[in-house]
Amino acid sequence: MRNEKTDRLIYTGIFSLSGVFSFMLLTRYSDIPVSGTFLWGYVFFVLAFNLVGFALIKGSEWYGRKNLFSPLRRTRTLIYYSILILVLLLLNYGLLILAKIIAGDNQPYLFPNGGYRILTVVWLVELVIFGLLIMNRTTQQTMLMQQKSAFLQEENNKARYTALQNQLNPHFLFNSLNTLIAEIEFNPKNATLFARRLSDVYRYVLQVQTRPLIALSEEIEFARSYIFLHQVRLGDYICFEENFGDAYQEVEIPPLTLQLLIENAIKHNIITESRPLYIRVSIEKGYLIVSNTFQPKMGEKHSNTGTGLKNLSARFFLLWGKDIEVSQENRLFTVKVPIIYD
């Protein structure tokens, strides 16, 4: 596959030749007077066609990424390219008028000698040229996305396995069973609730392994049970806050997303009576935001390139072409993950 620089040179040549061809053909039948400024008409058309050509290609790439997973993609595509076809026709008409003005024509809006027919022919030729270029570019982008998709699919499989492995690791089970034993001895009533929540956590993990997406409402219910288990084990020094309404009930995210982020916060931060850990989950501007107080254990630091976060980012990029955002500011560690509405 050609590199980006070679493609740009080829496209520049094609757009420039298209501009020269269009100007020559249109001026031949549009009665533009030949003068000292006539050369500027060629320059103007060449620059205009390069600007429009690259804008059309970039616009098509942006549109393709934006509507890749949209159920209305076919209808939107038809409308989008119909508008582009009309814009190209109006652009030719406007460029010809401007060229006549630059050349000093006293009647720039009149096109004698079959000028309108020639304008239509030039427009159709341009549609073929631009269409082929956009198709070629789209094919290249599709091949590139397929390569990235294969790589990210492998990363996604690793991430899902890691999430399951982290959740079912012997340390978590060992700590939970020890806590359950202690609760049975000192707080039998709470032991029953603890056992029920522990069962809910493992049931959820097993149920979602074959599901690429899960409703946020279900993920939140799981997070509440998961947080409860840690609160019983570590004390009421973990504060969990949710800040979103019923409008987000149809939001979907990859399963065990919250588990990974909550586990990171608990694992890497100090949690004591004097320094409780606050974890807050909210939704803002198309992102699920999970933030926690930043109070790392001695010798530990949160890392933006940690394995868990890298795997999580790969999963989201595979699904929606967006990376997660990680930041640490004012003693607050924040992870933003993109969301989708069902």
pTM for the full predicted model:
0.55
Other beta carbons within 10 Å of 268: 18
pLDDT at 92: 73
pLDDT at 240: 92
Distance between CA atoms of residues 214 and 256, nearest Å: 9
Residue spans per domain, the chain: 4-146, 168-341
- HSE at residue 162, side-chain half, CA atoms within 13 A, is 18
In 3D space, the residue among 94, 119, 118 whose CA is nearest the CA of residue 108 turns out to be 94
**Secondary structure of residue 75 in the 3-state scheme:** helix
pLDDT at 155: 63
Question: Rounded to the nearest 5°, which phi and psi values hold at 301?
Answer: -140, 145
Place of tokens 């942006």: 62
pLDDT at 36: 47
Distance between CA atoms of residues 111 and 119, nearest Å: 9
Per-residue pLDDT 10s for the chain (342 aa) are 456 677 778 878 877 887 777 777 666 655 555 554 456 667 777 887 788 777 777 777 676 666 555 556 677 677 777 877 787 778 777 777 776 676 666 777 776 666 677 677 777 877 777 777 777 766 766 677 677 667 766 666 665 555 555 555 667 778 888 889 988 988 888 899 999 999 998 888 888 877 888 888 899 999 999 999 999 988 889 999 988 766 666 788 888 889 889 988 998 899 998 999 999 999 888 889 999 999 988 766 554 456 778 878 877 877 777 888 999 888 899 999 988 765
pLDDT in tens, 252-299: 888 888 988 998 899 889 999 899 999 999 988 888 999 999 998 876
CATH code at 168-341: 3.30.565.10
Distance between CA atoms of residues 126 and 1, nearest Å: 25
Place of tokens 């050509």: 53
Which structure tokens are listed for 263?
A: 């586990």
Confirm if 316 and 261 have CB atoms less than 8 A apart.
Answer: no
Distance between CA atoms of residues 252 and 254, nearest Å: 7
pLDDT at 55: 78
Tell me the C-alpha to C-alpha distance, in Å, between residue 306 and each of 131, 160, 254, 329: 44, 16, 19, 18
- H helices within the chain, ranges in order? 4-28, 38-66, 73-102, 115-167, 170-186, 188-208, 216-234, 257-268, 307-320
Assign residue 289 a region (left: φ > 0; alpha: ψ between -120 and 50; beta: otherwise).
Answer: beta
Compute CA 117 distance to the chain's CA centroid, rounded to the nearest angstrom: 44
**Secondary structure of residue 106 in the 3-state scheme:** coil
Which structure tokens are listed for 273?
A: 């009576």
pLDDT at 225: 92
